[in-house]
Structure 1
């Protein structure tokens, strides 16, 4: 979680992880503007570099070679990363509208979402695969690789689009698929390729380059159909505008691209292809608060080809103008170069250079292209972003200032003054009421006074034949997205109730928000609390009140109450406790381990974005259904896995049960990247305290020398349920858990009688199996 050195007074929001925005993020890290928060919104944690995509398809590069890790880049540069789908802009309210979650406020917004092919042919959206967005294409490409490996006849693959992108992709796919067929001894099964273009080949390049590629395509056996626009696509075939049908098991669409459909609802001036019309300053001609760059940009005074070189070179001018806009300074015009160099590969390690009337090719051109591409990507590699981490405070310019209104200036001055303690540290009443006014909370007839009619305290009726179960949790934010943090904080707090078999009933919140200008404080609080109620409402838990105050870091906690049944004698029924383990029981865990190590690494910009996002998804998964299933299959004891780690919580179950638990180290389910993080020494700050529990382990010396020991004591946030079930129910229980979506659920140990003088935990280790699994 980024901790701003100065109060936040302005928000620059970047929509999309395109080339311009990743360059802009580097600029912001090296030239930070005090009081300005940068937020990147993207549907994916990794963004592809288009220049290396054909090389990836051809098999010359790995996935990580050609993708920029946006989550890691944001962690290193001090920006917030929000993984979400953008649905529109509310330009009057100055918010970015997102699918399924609250809007994000902006002062200025930039759009660099790339482009999408205009698939106007009948049936194209159903039966053809657009190359952009590239994430969707990559999934289909991997499926096609598997399909070709298993086919019993040569497939026919059609590429629609005769520009540089279509030709380059066609040759790269053909090279890879033919090479894999040859290697498998299935040369006769290599696919047949055809290319369709409504005009000629590479129309924006010179005649010499066009002739060179026409020759290469002919030599490779690609059937090229010039002046043949595609009018219709069906399953297994396509039809030209001239009415001729062609076989096509797979159709890839690489035609002239444009902006996403959501742009039509923004009211911005767009081209026919839904690109945003811009002044030379990269501002929309409609709204000076909206900027754009890359493929989605259409400059009024310049005609630019949809090429990565322009997107990259727009990055720095864009960043400068975004900062100048929030400072109230005049903006600088962007002047694109008149001539630019294109390096177009032919699938194999050979490329053709094209610049104006010049054209030349060779293996050395491919090596040149490879050097240029790798040098660019190096700036965004692990080593490249390490130098950016911590640069923000060191590079801050003391002379930079943001233009504020008189009221905002007063708020900012108050935010940097010596802060009061006690009730003086409460969030302002008007800010709080605006942040909460649109929250919808689950209605509950037992609530006599709650948020709908706030008083000094809430009043809640306890239903007859019920007892209250109380729990409380509170922690600092570990992720920069306040909505996601709110969801996980609420889910974590509910875990204790689910583990005991209680029905969630009510919750009160304790929130800490860094001081700042009212608009920014309100937006952060609104995002965080919306995330929380989006978790509380579905499980029937009503938010009835709470307290909010200022603090150096964002933090959130909940006091939660649940209900359990009591009989006429006042005894609880249906309650699961930690102390019910029986010898012979099997120990089940419903979620994978590793959140502590992963977020320790994330705080150092050392965890891959896809690892972090997968961990967040695991943490956001409710334990409610798992708890119900465990009770159905006769669970004898249960707890939720949190800060004390697997060993700590196992001891809490074993000791009061009077048994010994044998944990199978090689059976532990791990989050992607967790093992890599601990192997690099990236450990949670609570790791050392948890590791001092070795005295509770029977074979501590052996266990502590094992590579998985750090994950046995890794503190978990919103972890899974740890439960003992009778051995004859374990297999069926695991099957039910996995069917409910707990894909990593597994048996991690068993319970046995505690021998005299023995420790409550024994780690069962089979080194040969562990080495084979985790090497």
Structure 2
């Protein structure tokens, strides 16, 4: 991990990934401050750039072109990334209060969040209008609106708000909807668009020439403009104008009126203005506070009123970064000096824009190209980051050459989680040399290894024991605790056992007492949430100092004598069912190297936080004959353990194996977990299909998983209902990935043949 090299002395918490904070992260990444740890709490893993949002809506940009990926950026800045929503502050204790996690302590806080639509002042607006802010939510709402238009359910789109953002957005919406409806074979001429600008009129803060040009564009695009009356109410399918109650009907109502601050700001005790915006001084520090800074749409700048525009937030970024650094180091703070007349370039939905500054207005396709260059240059600063010093070159090998896969070198940054396990061949050689003390009560031990040890204590149920421990795979101690607990419990579930008790083994880096306590508390809170949900009592444990954060559990469970499941129970004809997608090892390696997108990593973390408890119960209810959890040795390694113990072959349909989003991209970039080369030694047991279309997924068979899914043999006639039940229970990627066959007797690997099975493209796996 690219974290601090010494003990953490100060915690800086950044709330929101706005235009100013992304610059703070980049600047701290370029010039770290020893002893300072950054934490970014953001609801948006991919923060939209406001300057490119209309172009994204119009269809000029793809999603990733118009968004800053906070994952690699946070990694570059050695910042912890917490995907969550802030709901308040405890200023006395210096805690940030989040919706889904324990409070996050800070020494210095900075707030750079977007505004929300001011729908509260207009009756019915909150219930019946579609707010444009927050932007990340609007993208999903616009997708739903577009679907209604294409389905013929909506024909008239009305937008409330005559500012530059509203005008540019409506022109972009009009272009996109007309083009997509025409492409779908519909009548785009049937669409209607209306702009309601209120008493201030169209673009009130801009020069007359600028306003006239846009009035001409709106007229040419057949967009009706209603000026002079404010919206006084919103109804289902209409807006009401002025005191007279003039009613304008519309199928879709977009809302872009003057912004309002987040509601929780006014409840914190921080100084706010009459409308609830956070008051800051000339240095962007909150009035009356030494430990709180803010920038962007949420502030009221005390020295002078400034527009709530991304242009000003961008300009504030370097000043904010310098002042955070100065506050930490005891230096002098800079004054933020907003530009008096900022350059405004507003698009028209087409590759054509209108610009104004200092009273001069220009327009044309060249202005659009100018704006496009400015926007792309800004985005490159955050999406094309400088190379990290720790980053090592990925293995260079032709993916079609499966023999060469064994040459994958371990990357310089060692993986955590199951990617940090000792390889299966090394482990097997060591265990073979051991001779444990004989004990007749041990039913499953080193002589016949399984997911857990089983001991007969003389009662109606057997005792099941397992232990897991690994260093942190993510920088979020709370969710790391959840993952570690889920991973440890997976061994019990694979044996058919019910968790009973757990002992924790925690390692924490040396640091100030308050910092160690906070990390330990967050980590154990996440773990205990999982253990409590499993009715597994945490009864004790052990803590120690170490180089890296690590956590593990010795878990104990109970299983009825006739309900125990083992790896060795597969029967020819069984279907092989996998409950979770694979690819966590590759994605976490990609995260360490700063090349995996935040949404891919977040989806992987979400899967690791899903318990195997319900899956185990459903598999058992559908007659599972054998079961294991897929962890460090990868899907293939654990399947081989099952086939060897059962004396059978297994035929895999490689293209049916569920794979996490982004894992294919990691394979294409030759990004693999550091355990991958050792797992690849198992390839000799695989007879491979030479079809080119399956080869890109082949390396993922060896990818080590952390808190992976369950792999089970299920009677073929129960497989379909089993998968349906698993998906209904929340395991949306559960799938039948192959079948069990009688042992063929083949020892050496051969090129796969068509097995004549109804499932085509099968790969045979044998001991």
- Counterpart CA distance in 2 for 1:298 and 1:551 is 45
The secondary structure found in structure 1 opposite 2:175 is: helix
Residues 1:714 and 2:703 aligned together:
yes
1:57 aligns with 57
Give the direction of change, closer, same or farther, for the CA distance of 1:703–1:586 in structure 2 (3 Å limit).
farther
The secondary structure found in structure 1 opposite 2:356 is: strand
Alignment of 1:129-144 (within 5 A): 129-144=130-145
Alignment of 1:189-588 (within 5 A): 190-198=190-198, 199-242=200-243, 243-381=245-383, 384-387=384-387, 465-565=460-560, 572-588=561-577
Deviations 1:719-738 (A, max 9, x none): 10000000010011111011
Task: Determine if contact 1:257/1:273 at 8 Å carries over to the other structure.
Answer: no
- Counterpart CA distance in 2 for 1:472 and 1:761 is 37
Q: Deviation of residue 757 (structure 1)? A: 3.7
Give the direction of change, closer, same or farther, for the CA distance of 1:560–1:278 in structure 2 (3 Å limit).
same
Give the direction of change, closer, same or farther, for the CA distance of 1:761–1:517 in structure 2 (3 Å limit).
farther
Task: Determine if contact 1:654/1:760 at 8 Å carries over to the other structure.
Answer: no
Q: Deviation of residue 705 (structure 1)? A: 8.7
1:744 aligns with 733
Deviations 1:125-163 (A, max 9, x none): 1111111111110001111222211116x6111111100
Task: Determine if contact 1:386/1:605 at 8 Å carries over to the other structure.
Answer: no
Residues 1:723 and 2:724 aligned together:
no
Q: Deviation of residue 322 (structure 1)? A: 0.8
- Counterpart CA distance in 2 for 1:151 and 1:704 is 39
Give the direction of change, closer, same or farther, for the CA distance of 1:62–1:757 in structure 2 (3 Å limit).
closer
Give the direction of change, closer, same or farther, for the CA distance of 1:185–1:678 in structure 2 (3 Å limit).
same
2:122 aligns with 121
Q: Deviation of residue 758 (structure 1)? A: 4.4
Give the direction of change, closer, same or farther, for the CA distance of 1:360–1:377 in structure 2 (3 Å limit).
same
The number of residues matched between the two structures is: 691
Give the direction of change, closer, same or farther, for the CA distance of 1:703–1:388 in structure 2 (3 Å limit).
closer
1:451 aligns with none
Task: Determine if contact 2:505/2:553 at 8 Å carries over to the other structure.
Answer: yes
Q: Deviation of residue 288 (structure 1)? A: 2.0
Task: Decide which moves more: 672-681 or 208-217.
Answer: 208-217
Deviations 1:329-387 (A, max 9, x none): 23221111212101001111111111132211111111100000001011112xx2243
- Counterpart CA distance in 1 for 2:62 and 2:532 is 43
Q: Deviation of residue 241 (structure 1)? A: 2.8
- Counterpart CA distance in 2 for 1:759 and 1:505 is 43
- Counterpart CA distance in 2 for 1:110 and 1:374 is 26
Deviations 1:465-501 (A, max 9, x none): 3332110111111111111111111111110111111
The secondary structure found in structure 2 opposite 1:488 is: helix
Task: Determine if contact 2:26/2:76 at 8 Å carries over to the other structure.
Answer: no
- Counterpart CA distance in 1 for 2:265 and 2:595 is 35
- Counterpart CA distance in 2 for 1:525 and 1:48 is 34
Deviations 1:310-343 (A, max 9, x none): 1011111101111111222232211112121010
The secondary structure found in structure 1 opposite 2:351 is: strand
- Counterpart CA distance in 2 for 1:506 and 1:760 is 43
Task: Determine if contact 1:159/1:253 at 8 Å carries over to the other structure.
Answer: yes
Task: Determine if contact 1:638/1:723 at 8 Å carries over to the other structure.
Answer: yes
Residues 1:21 and 2:21 aligned together:
yes
TM-score, structure 2 normalization: 0.87
Q: Deviation of residue 307 (structure 1)? A: 1.1
- Counterpart CA distance in 2 for 1:211 and 1:744 is 54
Deviations 1:562-583 (A, max 9, x none): 1112xxxxxx221111111111
Task: Determine if contact 2:178/2:188 at 8 Å carries over to the other structure.
Answer: no
1:11 aligns with 11
- Counterpart CA distance in 1 for 2:488 and 2:242 is 61
The secondary structure found in structure 2 opposite 1:294 is: coil
Q: Deviation of residue 770 (structure 1)? A: 8.2
Task: Decide which moves more: 210-219 or 168-177.
Answer: 210-219
Alignment of 1:167-186 (within 5 A): 167-186=167-186
1:151 aligns with 152
TM-score, structure 1 normalization: 0.86
- Counterpart CA distance in 1 for 2:731 and 2:599 is 19
The secondary structure found in structure 2 opposite 1:561 is: strand
Q: Deviation of residue 78 (structure 1)? A: 1.1
Task: Determine if contact 1:28/1:77 at 8 Å carries over to the other structure.
Answer: yes
Task: Decide which moves more: 191-200 or 474-483.
Answer: 191-200
- Counterpart CA distance in 1 for 2:692 and 2:250 is 57
